[in-house]
Chains A and B, each alone.
Chain A
Amino acid sequence: MTAPLTELADVVRSKNSGPYELTIDIIFTGQDQYELVKQRRAISRELVAELYRVPVDDVGEPIFYDPAKAVKINLRRPLVSGNVGERDVYGAQQHGPLLTLRLPTP
């Protein structure tokens, strides 16, 4: 069984982590769901690279954070924050592609 991420998470957000990196947080609603994703590594850097169509080297290894039932993913910014051509100085609207994700459910 799978379900859309939007039904499994309370928070899906992106933000700058300094001017060179974006950091994306997914905070799951249920402990079981979080454990399953963590155990199966259902969110991987390869998967994120594919969703964003960027090289795998531009994506960090997902960090699983138990106290918040959360997964953190770091991405190289396509442009340094504020450079000419910038589209999102705070990096707050770069989580969209993850919202299309479906994940296995317990």
Chain B
Amino acid sequence: MDEIRVLSATAILGYGFPDASFEAGLARGPHLIAADAGSCDPGPYYLGAGASFTDRTAVTRDLERMIRAGQRLGIPVVIGSAGGAGAAPHLAWLRGIVDEIAAGQGLRLRAAVIPADIDRETVLQALRDGRISALPHGPQLTAEDIHASTHLVAQMGTAPFVAALRDGADIVLAGRAYDPAVFAALPLLHGFDEGLALHMSKILECAAIAAVPGSGSDCMLGTLRRDHFVLEPLNPVRRCTPTSVAAHTLYEKSDPYHLPGPGGYLDLSDCVFTSEDERGVRVSGSRHIAQPFAVKLEGARLRGYRTVSVAGARDPYFIREIDTVIQGVRDRVADNFPDIPPDSYELLVRVYGADGCMGPLEPSPRPAGHEVGIVIEAVADSQDLADTLCGFARSTMLHFGYPGRLSTAGNLAFPYSPSDFHAGEVYEWSVHHLMATDDPAALFPITFVDYPGDPS
């Protein structure tokens, strides 16, 4: 095998892709179709709550096309980080979608299912053994953090995917996984260079984002050979340039020369990016440096419940006095509910038009425009308490008297009735740490499922 072609359908399963791009990719005779479904970027809620951050209808749409294409070409389809966060409920959710597609189309499929959940006791033991380390600027892990986490997952590397493909899986459904692993596994099974395979996969993982114009919802083809790889978008309106591909190496990473992953890091110090044809870019010189195996652990804990109220203000005298008003509202809330301990809740007021996006990092924190947006937020141990605090703060701010007030009928413009929203459970990251382990394969046991299943 001189080259292996990998089709990346979309940056995140459920982000979609044009059928024309996908068909153009299939016409190139790929050996693998893959999509990474996950990210921790959307925040801790999805892992904590066990909910997907992509929509079921959108995921079904993408996956149905990918599975059908895989069947037509007789090639595997690989999905990592099911449901975004990749814990047991997310994997079950994705499995349910595949069940539905397989049943609906009467498919005969062999699926490999690889959970990424890590047993609490395994993590506690690793903590006791000193095998857990913090990330830069991250806190040290404590036993309390581990106990508080609703789900604990580890990012699997390429090994479980390689094993699943070696054992004949038509489709691989995995929990939380190192993003490039879904693309790199088949090349590694066929003995291609690990550095090139992982670097190509790191770029494919974001689909056509590395092209110009970039897009997370369009397809990209990677062709891996023995000493280089070529990336090309499949939509004729896009092209890859040496700069666009090199620039992508920076994206979301703290060091473009050294990209850490499970079992080692990519050393891209000697990479060369050159144009190939009209729309492709050739990359060579990527190296993988093996290190003792460590997996990234992720966990989130329930922090409380949130209620939010959104309003605007147009009155220039109110805007001038906004800091006074906010402090006055906070004082009134505390004064009105003396039985609620101040450390049992958070009451936040954000002023968009002032420092809404940057808070303490904002160099110009004073409102400068003719109107501001205001978001009142309460987080407390129960939804009822969050409702009470947010609702009281909202009504107090609506009628608050301040120096120079002319608008005695009300200070706020509410776009909605009801004006307050239950935002529900609030989670925070409790675990984002590295765990050293001797046997990464044992953490990620593979189960095979044959479709059609036994009638039940």
Question: In the assembled complex, which residues on chain B have CB atoms less than 8 Å from the CB atom of A83?
Answer: 428-429
Whether, in the assembled complex, B358 has its beta carbon less than 8 Å from a beta carbon of chain A, the answer is yes
Contact of B40 among A18, A21, A72, A86 (CB under 8 A): A18
When the two chains form their complex, are residues A16 and B41 in contact, meaning their CB atoms are under 8 A apart? yes
How far apart are B269's CB and chain A's nearest CB, in angstroms?
Answer: 10
Contact of B303 among A21, A51, A70, A84 (CB under 8 A): A84
A68 to B246, CA, bound (A): 5
Question: In the assembled complex, which residues on chain A have CB atoms less than 8 Å from the CB atom of B318?
Answer: none
Whether, in the assembled complex, B143 has its beta carbon less than 8 Å from a beta carbon of chain A, the answer is no
Which chain A residue has the least Cβ–Cβ distance from B352?
A87
How far apart are B413's CB and chain A's nearest CB, in angstroms?
Answer: 22
When the two chains form their complex, are residues B137 and A77 in contact, meaning their CB atoms are under 8 A apart? yes
Stretch in contact with the other chain, from B29-37, B110-118, B250-258: B250-258
Question: In the assembled complex, which residues on chain A have CB atoms less than 8 Å from the CB atom of B44?
Answer: 19, 81-82
When the two chains form their complex, are residues A68 and B358 in contact, meaning their CB atoms are under 8 A apart? no
A32-56 contacts to B, CB under 8 A, are: 51-54
Question: In the assembled complex, which residues on chain B have CB atoms less than 8 Å from the CB atom of A89?
Answer: 41-43
Question: In the assembled complex, which residues on chain B have CB atoms less than 8 Å from the CB atom of A70?
Answer: 246-247, 250, 256
How far apart are B302's CB and chain A's nearest CB, in angstroms?
Answer: 12
A77-100 contacts to B, CB under 8 A, are: 77-78, 80-90, 93-94, 96-97, 100
B92-150 contacts to A, CB under 8 A, are: 135-138
Contact of A78 among B41, B361, B363 (CB under 8 A): B361
When the two chains form their complex, are residues B360 and A78 in contact, meaning their CB atoms are under 8 A apart? yes
Whether, in the assembled complex, B239 has its beta carbon less than 8 Å from a beta carbon of chain A, the answer is no
Question: In the assembled complex, which residues on chain B have CB atoms less than 8 Å from the CB atom of A51?
Answer: 363
Question: In the assembled complex, which residues on chain A have CB atoms less than 8 Å from the CB atom of B41?
Answer: 16, 81, 89-90
Whether, in the assembled complex, B426 has its beta carbon less than 8 Å from a beta carbon of chain A, the answer is yes
When the two chains form their complex, are residues B135 and A18 in contact, meaning their CB atoms are under 8 A apart? yes
- Contact surface of A with B, Cβ cutoff 8 Å: 11, 15-21, 23, 25, 27, 51-54, 58, 60, 63, 65, 67-70, 72, 74, 76-78, 80-90, 93-94, 96-97, 100
What are 10 A-B pairs at a CB distance below 8 A? A11-B247, A20-B136, A25-B247, A52-B363, A54-B361, A65-B256, A65-B257, A68-B256, A70-B250, A94-B361
Interface pairs A-B: 4 shortest CB-CB: A82-B43, A67-B246, A68-B246, A20-B137
Q: A80-B429, A97-B361 given. 13 additional CB < 8 A pairs?
A: A20-B136, A25-B251, A51-B363, A53-B361, A67-B246, A74-B136, A78-B361, A81-B429, A83-B428, A87-B358, A90-B41, A94-B358, A94-B361
